[in-house]
């Protein structure tokens, strides 16, 4: 009986924690300070998971925002072919490259970009 009650309590805590998932610091920063960078991240997440999957969309936004921040801090000044080709590989809108004010306003899979760059 104690195990069942403990498992039920754990399940309720887990469900309520996931229900309260909010934007992380990086996502909130982009949303508040650089909305033109946040918009493609959100669009990417909604396209991947759908409008009805709010939890997964927020989780994707958080993951992509962390990866974009890592890119900005570690790779943005690296104009090597390795970085360029990796970005092109995971670009969701290759037709827009060269047509926007800033490259970061295009939808990329930032998580995969960072993962690939760190593996090389």
Domain extent listing, the chain: 23-119
pLDDT < 70 positions in the chain = 1-20, 98-101
Q: How far apart are CA 120 and CA 117, in angstroms?
A: 5
Q: pTM (2 decimals)?
A: 0.77
The dihedral of CA 70, 72, 74, 78: what is its sign? Answer: positive
The reported pLDDT for the residue numbered 110 is 94
Give the alpha-carbon dihedral of 56, 46, 60, 114, to 10 degrees: 150
For residue 88, the model assigns a pLDDT of 87
Mean per-residue pLDDT of the chain: 84
Give residue 78's pLDDT.
84
């Amino acid at each position: 009986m104690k195990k069942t009650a403990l498992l039920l309590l754990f399940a309720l805590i887990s469900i309520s924690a996931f229900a309260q998932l909010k934007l992380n610091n990086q996502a909130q920063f982009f949303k508040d300070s650089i909305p033109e960078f946040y918009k493609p991240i959100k669009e990417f997440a909604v396209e991947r998971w759908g409008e009805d999957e709010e939890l997964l969309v927020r989780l994707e936004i958080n993951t992509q925002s962390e990866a974009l921040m890592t890119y900005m801090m570690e790779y943005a000044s690296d104009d090597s072919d390795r970085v360029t080709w990796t970005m092109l590989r995971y670009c969701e809108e290759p037709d827009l490259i060269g047509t926007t004010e800033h490259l970061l306003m295009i939808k990329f899979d930032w998580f995969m970009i960072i993962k690939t760059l760190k593996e090389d």
